[in-house]
Chains A and B, each alone.
Chain A
Amino acid sequence: MSLLTNLIEHSLDEGYAEAAARRAARPDPPGSGGTTGWVLALGLLMVGLLLATAAAQVRDRAPAASQARDALTAEIVERTTASDQLEADLQLLRASVEEARAEALSLTTTGSEIATLLTDLEAVTGAGAVRGPGLVVHLEDADSEQPTGSEDPRADDQSNDGRVTDRDLQTIVNEVWVAGAEAVAINGQRLTARSAIRSAGQAILVDFRPLSPPYDVVAIGEPEQLQSRLVDGFGGSYLQVLRDYGITFTVQTRDSVLLPAAAGIPVRYANVPVTESTSAESTEPAP
């Protein structure tokens, strides 16, 4: 405590008292007033410079944060545009490859058989665009934005009830498959056997591409059968539960829907064995 008391009682630099005592003992020689002013001015100049520099520093730092944020946002937009462009290019190139392949295969009988097989496989795997009658499940987040008082998206964990989640989309897509769908897409993102519906923060990602609400789950299949199986089965009761949370949905049959091809179905580890003998060789243990 004595330390604190000492600190409080002797808050003034003792140099002042000593200097005053010295002055009292030995009166100022006349003529030193000029240098006095300059020393003080120099000191105050340093004080002002320091305070103003610190203020400028603080002022500059706040925009720096938002500048970084703006730069990141711009980069996201730029990269997304580039990615969209690349995907469009990919679709064009793939179309020309398919055209060339179809032309080459149509020259022989086996070739045209293979072409038919290929088209079927592409339709089933999602590698090719498909058209046909089907069903559209339209899901929309709850209208009423509950006032949370916070604009920070990380902060409002409480008001997520009226929001469509990745789990909801997973369940509905699975139920649509169960109902007999032959091909499914969400907001134009074709689903393949390896598609993932995930969420990152509040965004729902399909194959790592973010979706924005409302969500359209489009399925190709026999429309009446799809609708009745979906609505009567678990999917229907699940949609009713979603309705309790304020999520609105419609299930509509369509005479013709067009599903795009999936962006890519990369196979990294699996290889198609060329013949039986080569695959047998490759599984043989090394001597």
Chain B
Amino acid sequence: MIAAAGLVLGIVAGLFLEPTVPLWLQPYLPIAVVAALDAVFGGLRSLLDGIFDDKVFVVSFVANVLVAALIVFLGDQLGVGSQLSTGVVVVLGIRIFSNAAAIRRHLFSA
């Protein structure tokens, strides 16, 4: 219950307060979103697997976002930012898809 309230509060705050993302952070926002989605799907799957752990979820979310941003930042510094972004998106995308497939199997048994 508190968790759902937290999610709703976060979305409402983001939509209505519209925090201005500083310019230097903007390139990392899409990657951070993909990383966050990966953590969310991982959490959902583990919930359905019955092994959900909130601490692991929060830590994996924060770590995913930070590492993804770090990789893109490093790539930008080295001049291969777009390639590394693609790499991050591919890896996280594969994980999101396979987790989504696992969730689907749990929910629809298909």
**A contact set with B: CB distance below 8 Å:** 4, 7-8, 11-13, 15-20, 23, 36-57, 60
Contacts and interface: CB of A to CB of B under 8 A. Distances in A.
B58 interface: yes
Contact of A56 (B14, B42, B58, B102): B14
A11 B14 CA distance: 29
Contact of A57 (B21, B36, B53, B94): B21
Given A15-B56, A37-B3, A52 B10 contact: yes
A8 to B, nearest CB: 5
Interface in B60-75: 60-62, 65
A41 B6 contact: yes
A11 B94 contact: yes
Contacts of B49: 12, 16
B55 A39 contact: yes
B42 A16 contact: yes
A40 B94 CA distance: 25
A55 B99 contact: no
Nearest to B13: A49
Contact of A52 (B11, B56, B58, B99): B11
B54 A11 contact: no
A51 B11 CA distance: 7
Nearest to A34: B2
B14 A37 contact: no
A20 B52 CA distance: 8
Contacts of B59: 15
A23 B53 contact: yes
The 5 closest A-B pairs by CB, nearest first: A52-B14, A48-B10, A41-B6, A43-B58, A20-B51
A7 B33 contact: no
A40 B40 contact: no
A39 B10 contact: no
B15 interface: yes
A47 B7 contact: yes
Nearest to B46: A16
Given A12-B42, A16-B42, A39-B55, A48 B94 contact: no
B19 to A, nearest CB: 6
Given A39-B58, A45-B6, A12 B40 contact: no
Given A4-B94, A52-B15, A40 B51 contact: no
A13 B99 CA distance: 10
12 contacts: A11-B94, A12-B45, A15-B53, A16-B46, A40-B2, A40-B6, A41-B7, A44-B4, A45-B13, A47-B61, A49-B19, A52-B13
Contacts of B4: 44
B18 to A, nearest CB: 5
